[in-house]
Amino acid sequence: MKVLNLSGIDGVADYHLPAKLKDAMCLVKTDLGNIELRVSSHLINSAEVMDYERQLKKTNTEFKLVPSNIAEIVELNQQSGVTTQEQLNIIHGKIFEIFSAATDARSSDIHFRLRSKLCNVFFRVDGKLRFYKELTPEDGKSYINSLFNTRCEDRSHQSISYQEPCGAKVSEDFVQPLGLSGGRFASRPVADGGMVAVIRLISRRNEILSMEQLGLTDTEIETLERAIAKPTGVIFLTGPMGSGKSTLAQVVCELLTSRDPGIHLLTVENPVESPIKGAVQTSLGTGEEWWEAIKSMMRLDLNWILIGEVRDPLSASAAIEAAQTGHNVLTTIHTTFPIDTISRLKSLNVQSDLITDASLITCLVGQRLAPKLCPSCKQKYTDSSKSVAPVIKKIIDKHCDIDSIYLKNPQGCTECSGAGVKGRVGIFEVIEVDANFMDIYHSQGKIKAYEHWYINGGATLCTNTLRLVNTGEIDPVLSHKDVCNLDRDYLIFTDEVRAAAKVNREKINE
């Protein structure tokens, strides 16, 4: 029989034993592997014991409440089998090994899938999940419990719950040796008492990246530079989760602070991610809403404000109000394409005269991340097109330069660890907002405003995806499925609009 720590990985994190229960309660694991909560008989129905039971049940620990006497409990507590710090350090070392392997593989996320009979660990590399290893369910639960309970801060729960979703930030001290500044922990219960837990790894960058390094074209950089140079206004970054919005925001902020160290750039994030040189980074407070944080920051003598997310009517209105009062704002909003930003703001009940004001909304940016083909093993499309589904092949043959494009090698090679892809590249759509664009949007609708921008030289996500496909940098099949459908421009713009855009683009390139 082994005595377990009441507040250890098998117990309730950060639990402080009330004086009333001293020498009156202990947690043990029997020789058969069963966990028992032994409590002095006269206290078994006390509020303190019932509170501990409730918290222990949330950790999905199966245990039996066993009446005992104080003499037995004192004797058990004096045994040497209590979970020690050395044992906890061993578990931390195993978790660190997983984090280390993930960073070596250039992973963006670590996935734990805990079920009743096993626990599988996956890494997300270049946008796709790769199996890493299988753990016993006991080890999987031990690692998840220990990580959340002892290596995380800003926890949503005192200890990990197997009955409710949990969230936290992985402590920077734990992962700093790996070049990380932390991680975002999120979990959710699944059937059979298991759990899926995902840790987003947050890298610490030592150098300031340029917009060109992210994948923006010269024209897109010029457009963003013009928006940044304006004295006020909101720049909206759009795209799905994991599309690189946070990285672009960090790059823009560091560009601003490096050019003018005298500005006051304040952020509100949930949680604070990678360090931004020259910025004052703040985290959304416990129970604090986005709009409350924005209102609070307005009184802090700002020049620029980075808002982690606009997600509801109050935060959307607060972001626009910040621009109205002379501040520059950089924020993200959940829309599929940047042209949908204004209609999204309408759905959030922002006043229509504000969302059609080009002095308040200055730039709309959409982005995706696409895996780059391994240059050592990519395959010519003309040699391998038989492997492509007929419906996709028809689209590729119509919209791509088939003599110049390549496919992913399904077997991969040693250079790409058998993945067929290596690294990722950003693909962007940058819409500069002006009075003409807003006037057309207000009077004729979203599509007409989009057409106006496209005809006058705008490069869509589809245009930029096709550009990288046709230069052999990215796979057309993967891109059509995961980045942007290759026939999107053909489907949403008429023949007349596409022809006019082509003529104008040729004039621009002369």
* Position 495 confidence tier, pLDDT thresholds 50, 70, 90: very high
332 and 426 part of one domain: yes
How far CA 296 is from CA of 81, 318, 319, 330, 466, in Å, comes to 51, 10, 12, 17, 44
For 195, the 3-state DSSP assignment is strand
pLDDT for the residue 14: 65
- The fraction of the chain above a pLDDT of 90, given in percent, is 64
Question: What's the number of domains the chain is made of?
Answer: 3
Name beta bridge partners: 3. Answer: 28
126 and 235 part of one domain: no
pLDDT for the residue 271: 77
Q: Is the pLDDT of residue 96 over 50?
A: yes
Instruction: Check if the beta carbon of residue 180 is closer than 8 Å to that of residue 206.
Output: no
**CATH for 342:** 3.40.50.300
Q: Is the pLDDT of residue 86 over 50?
A: yes
Q: 192 or 350: whose pLDDT is higher?
A: 350
Average pLDDT, the chain: 90
* Position 407 confidence tier, pLDDT thresholds 50, 70, 90: very high
Q: Is the pLDDT of residue 80 over 50?
A: no
Find the length of the chain: 510
pLDDT for the residue 118: 93
| Tokens of residue 500, six digits | 């006019």
126 and 243 part of one domain: no
334 and 462 part of one domain: yes
Q: Is the pLDDT of residue 296 over 70?
A: yes
Global confidence as pTM? 0.78
395 and 441 part of one domain: yes
Q: Span 254-280, mean pLDDT?
A: 90
What's the rounded Cα separation, in Å, for the pair 24 and 5? Answer: 14
178 and 46 part of one domain: no
Residues in contact with 399: Cβ distance below 8 Å, sequence separation at least 6, in sequence order: 466, 486, 487, 490
Domain that holds residue 191: 85-203
- Which of 182, 203, 224 delimits the end of a domain? 203
Q: Taking phi first (over 0 means left), then psi (-120 to 50 degrees means alpha), and beta for anything else, what does residue 472 get?
A: left
139 and 229 part of one domain: no
32 and 170 part of one domain: no
15 and 119 part of one domain: no
- Which of 61, 77, 93 delimits the end of a domain? 77
pLDDT for the residue 8: 65
**Digit-coded pLDDT (tens) for 24-62:** 898 888 888 888 999 999 899 999 899 999 888 887 778
**Digit-coded pLDDT (tens) for 426-453:** 999 999 999 999 999 999 999 999 999 9
**Digit-coded pLDDT (tens) for 197-230:** 999 998 887 777 899 999 999 999 999 999 999 9
- Which of 14, 42, 77 delimits the end of a domain? 77
* Position 170 confidence tier, pLDDT thresholds 50, 70, 90: very high
310 and 292 part of one domain: yes
230 and 131 part of one domain: no
pLDDT for the residue 28: 86
495 and 354 part of one domain: yes
**CATH for 104:** 3.30.450.90
